Structure 1
Amino acid sequence: MKKISMAAAVAGLVLAGAATPQAMAAAEPQPLTKPCPGSNQYYGDADFTKFWECSNGIAYLFDCPANLHWDLTLLTCNYPEQAKRVEGDHLHT
């Protein structure tokens, strides 16, 4: 499965004309940022409905779409019963 960044996914929706204002707002980074803790692009959060995406050394907080949780193995939002979560394997907030 090919992984793309949230920004690339949103750009694709905009170009396709499928992005609603609500979808755009949900995909926008939260105002909360912090330095990236390492060299990975994605990190989980203590709240499994959120994840961090790093860009140029800054981590931006995103929400998974409704009813999905961040999967620490697949590095994508997934159904809660299928999401692989490892205690302690997240970026502390």
Structure 2
Amino acid sequence: MKKLSMAVAVAGLIMAGAAAPQAMAADGPDYPYVTKPCPGDQQYYGDADFTKFWECSNGIAYRFDCPAGLDWDLNLLTCNYPEAAGRIEGDHLRT
């Protein structure tokens, strides 16, 4: 049982470290995220740049990048393949 608990703890640390690089470039020398006030009560919002999204926490929205080649899917609220995300650029579906 003790080995299983240790394995779960190590896996959690690995997953936490894997998520950190999604943060955007520094907004300033002492603050590593691009932020703005949350525009509403939702937790996730899309961005004008289809490859980015905003996540709200305690009234502050933080901007993140989708992994390379993916767009933010407004319906599923996750990064998805562009053809599946269905984001519209002007009058055309982004491809």
TM-score bin, normalised by smaller chain? 0.5 to 0.7
- Counterpart secondary structure, 2:83: coil
- What residue in structure 2 maps to residue 69 of structure 1? 71
TM-score after normalising by structure 1: 0.65
Secondary structure, counterpart of 2:21 in structure 1: helix
Which residue is 1:82 aligned to? 84
> Which protein, 1 or 2, shows the higher relative CO under an 8 Å CA cutoff with sep ≥ 6?
1
Gap runs ≥5 in structure 2 = 1-8, 26-32, 91-95
Q: In 2, Cα distance between the equivalents of 1:48 and 1:13?
A: 33
Q: Identify if the C-alpha distance between structure 1 residues 43 and 86 changes in structure 2 by more than 3 Å, giving closer, same or farther.
A: farther
Report the equivalent of 1:38: 40
In 1, the alpha carbon distance for the partners of 2:11 and 2:63 equals 21
Aligned-pair Cα RMSD in Å: 2.8
- Total equivalences in the alignment: 75
Residues 38, 13 of structure 1: alpha-carbon distance in 2 compared, 3 angstrom cutoff: farther
Calculate percent identity across the aligned residue pairs: 67
Query: Cα deviation per residue 1:19-71 (whole Å; 9 max; x = unaligned)?
Result: 66xx4552335521000000010000000000000000000000001110000
Matched letter for residue 70 of structure 2:
L
Q: Which has the higher helix share?
A: 2
